[in-house]
Structure 1
Amino acid sequence: MPIRYHIDSFTIFEQTLVVEGWLFADDGQVVMLWVEHPNGARLPLDYGGPSDDVVQALGPAARDCRFRYRGRSPFTAEDTSALVLHFQLADGRVGQEVDFIRTTLLREPIHQLVAQFLHELSRQEHGQVVELGARARSGVTRRHLIPPRFDYLGVDVLPGPNVDLVADAHALSRYLPPASVEAVFSFSVFEHLLMPWKVAVELNRVMRPGGLGLIVTHQAWPVHDAPCDYWRFSATAWRSLFNRATGFAILDARVSDPAYLVPKVAFTDRITHQSADNFQQSAVLFRKIGETRLDWEVEVGELDAGQYPV
C-alpha cells in the first residue's frame, strides 16, 4: 500500500533509543506503528503527533502523522539494519517497510549530490574517470557506478583490491598526463590527506578543462586510521580548496547525516545541547574552469608526520 515517511532521528546510545519522524498512508488512516526485529523484539511507537510541517507538503489529510519514542531500547545499534517498520490502518490492513533507515538515508543531501555527479557524468561521451582512494579495504568498490564507456582508474597510495595505479594524490601529476582526466571522485579520503590544498592543485593539473569532481568526506566523525587522520570539512570549507585561484568553480557543497556531539563530561560552557549543528558527512561537487599557477613545493616526507600512510 502506498505510504510516505521520513525518519528524523533513530539514535541508540547507552541503551537509550530516540525515534522521531512521520508516516502518512495515501489511502487510509494509520492507527498503529511499531518497529520489530526478526528475533521477535518489538517496540510500539507513539503515533498521532501534530505534523503541521507535513501538512504544508502533503495537504490536510497528513495532519497528526508524526511518531516518536524516547526510552529504554530493546535493540542494540548493531540491530538497526535488520529492523522492520510495521504499520496498521484503520481498516485492518497491515504493511511493513524493510530497511527503512537506509531509505531515509538515501534522501540525504550527500546522496543527492552523488546522484548529480553521476547524472552530469552520464552526459559525457567518454573519458578517464579517476577514483582516489579506490582500495577496497572493507570490500566496498564503486567501479560499477561508472558507465562502461568510460575508462575507470582506481588510484590508491597503497596496493590492494580494486587498485589500478599506486600513487600518492599529493603528486598525482607525476603519474597522469596533463588534462587527461574527465572526472575524479573520492569517498572518505580527504580527511586522510596531509595537504589537501596541494591535492587540489594536482587535480587541476591532470583534469581537462570542464572536468567534473566529487569529494565526499566528513564534517564530524570519530578519529580513525590514526595517526593518519588530519582534517574535517564544513560545507563552506571547500571554498578554500576549489576556487578561481586553484582553477575550479564549486557547483554545490552540502553536509548531511545530522548527528549529536555528546561529551563524556558535560560543561556549561560547551555547546553540546540537542540543537547544536553537527553532521557526519560533507561533500563538494566542482568543475575545472581554468589552469592554475599555484604550487606547494613541499613533499609529504618533509612534514615529519611519521609513517604515512599507515
Structure 2
Amino acid sequence: MATAGFSAYLPGPPDVELEFLGETGHLAVRCIVPAPRHPLPVVPTDTEGRDWRDAAREAIEAAPPGRVLALGVRTGRAEDDRSLREKFPNREVIGVDIHPGIGVDLVADVHELDLAAGVASAAIVYSGSLLEHVAAPWLVARACATVLVPGGYALHHAPWAWPTHARPNDFWRMSPDGLRQLFTPMLGFEVVETGSSVDVRMQVEPHPFSPDDPRLPLLAFSTTHSAATSWIIARKTTEPPAVTEWPYTGTEVAALAARYPVDGIAVSSD
C-alpha cells in the first residue's frame, strides 16, 4: 500500500478482500482491494530481459565499418557529449539535431536525414529519446533506412510510459511492438532484437470527482505495472522503397519539427 501514498497494517489472514469506504465532500467511494500473499501489483516475471546497453554494444561491434549518425543528441554539457561518443569506439560520430548546440555537428531535420547526410552514408544510426519528439516517426525510420549502408544497424530507444516533457513537441509513446512497426521489413529492416527497461508503477490520481463524473470508474483501477522505455535494434537487409508518399516537404509539419524548445534539455546538477 505504500506506493498508493499511505501504508497500513491489518492483522489477519492473507488471500482475502478488503473493503475501503471513503467520503470526500458529497461523494462516497467504495473500493474492494484483494490482499493476496504476493505483493501488488503483480509484476510479470519476464520484465527483466536484456539490458539495452549490452544489446547496443554488441550491435555496434557487429556493424560494418563506417560512421555513426547520432540523432537528437544536443546536450547541455560537454561531458555528456564525450560520454555518448565513447559508446562508438574507433568510429566517426556525427551529432545531428534540429538546433545547434553542444554535440551537434550537423543541423538538420531528421525527417529528411537522407537529404542532409546522404544516401548510404552511415553504418549506424542511433537515437535515444528522440522518436517521441518527431512529427512523423515513420518518415524518420525510412530516412534511417536510406542513409544506412547494407548491413548497417539502426539503434533506437524511446519512452513507453513516461511523463510529458519538452512540450509542445512531445507526440508519441512507443512499445517494443510499436518500434517493430516503424523499423519494418517493408522498409528493408530485419529486426534483430527489441526490449524494454525501467519498471514503473502507475495509478490514477484521486482528484475530486462528482457523482456524475464519467471519470469516476477510473478510481477502481488498481496500481498497474509497466516498462518505462522501449528499444529496438534493426539491421538493414534490403533497400527501402524508392518512393514513400506522405505530405511533408513544404508543409506545416516541416515547421513543426523546429518548434522543439531550445531550452528543452535537462542539465544534471552533478
Q: Report the TM-score when normalising by structure 2.
A: 0.69
Structure 1, residues 89-113: CA drift from partner, whole Å, max 9, x if none?
xxxxxxxxxxxxxxxxxx9546x23
How big is the shift at 1:125?
A: 6.2
The answer to whether 1:160 aligns with 2:111 is: no
1:199 to 113, 118, 140: 140
2:74 to 128, 135, 141: 135
Contact 1:114-1:214 at 8 Å conserved across structures: no
* DSSP-derived class of the 2:157 partner: strand
Structure 2 match to 1:288: 236
Structure 1 match to 2:200: 259
Contact 1:194-1:300 at 8 Å conserved across structures: no
How big is the shift at 1:164?
A: 0.8
How big is the shift at 1:231?
A: 0.2
Contact 1:134-1:163 at 8 Å conserved across structures: yes
Matches of 1:207 and 1:302, distance apart in 2:
28
1:117 to 49, 56, 59: 56
Matches of 2:164 and 2:64, distance apart in 1:
40
Contact 2:98-2:257 at 8 Å conserved across structures: no
Matches of residues 102-251 of structure 1 in structure 2 within 5 Å? Answer: 109=49, 112-124=51-63, 126-137=65-76, 140-141=80-81, 142-147=84-89, 149-251=90-192
Q: After the TM superposition, which of the residue ranges 265-274 and 286-295 deviates more from structure 2? A: 265-274
Matches of 2:3 and 2:141, distance apart in 1:
38
Structure 1, residues 185-241: CA drift from partner, whole Å, max 9, x if none?
111111101100000111111101110111111001111011100000112112221
How big is the shift at 1:122?
A: 2.0
Contact 1:254-1:284 at 8 Å conserved across structures: yes
How has the CA–CA distance of structure 1 residues 272 and 261 changed in structure 2, closer, same or farther, with 3 Å as cutoff?
A: farther
Matches of 2:193 and 2:131, distance apart in 1:
17
Matches of 1:155 and 1:219, distance apart in 2:
23
* DSSP-derived class of the 2:230 partner: strand
How big is the shift at 1:249?
A: 1.4
How big is the shift at 1:262?
A: 1.7
Structure 2 match to 1:65: none
Contact 1:156-1:163 at 8 Å conserved across structures: yes
More strand by percentage: 1
Contact 2:109-2:257 at 8 Å conserved across structures: no
1:116 aligned partner, one-letter code = A
Contact 2:95-2:106 at 8 Å conserved across structures: yes
The answer to whether 1:273 aligns with 2:222 is: yes
The answer to whether 1:309 aligns with 2:260 is: yes
Gap runs ≥5 in structure 2: 8-36, 40-46, 208-215, 262-270
2:237 aligned partner, one-letter code = I
In angstroms, what is the RMSD of aligned CA positions?
A: 2.9
2:165 aligned partner, one-letter code = H
How has the CA–CA distance of structure 1 residues 289 and 306 changed in structure 2, closer, same or farther, with 3 Å as cutoff?
A: closer
How big is the shift at 1:309?
A: 2.1
Structure 2 match to 1:55: none
Contact 2:63-2:151 at 8 Å conserved across structures: no
Q: Report the TM-score when normalising by structure 1.
A: 0.61
Paired residues in the alignment total 211
Gap runs ≥5 in structure 1: 1-10, 17-49, 52-67, 69-106
How big is the shift at 1:307?
A: 6.1
How has the CA–CA distance of structure 1 residues 265 and 300 changed in structure 2, closer, same or farther, with 3 Å as cutoff?
A: farther
Matches of 1:180 and 1:307, distance apart in 2:
24
How has the CA–CA distance of structure 1 residues 137 and 14 changed in structure 2, closer, same or farther, with 3 Å as cutoff?
A: farther
Structure 2 match to 1:298: 248
Higher relative contact order at CA 8 Å, sep ≥6: structure 1 or structure 2? 2
How has the CA–CA distance of structure 1 residues 305 and 158 changed in structure 2, closer, same or farther, with 3 Å as cutoff?
A: closer
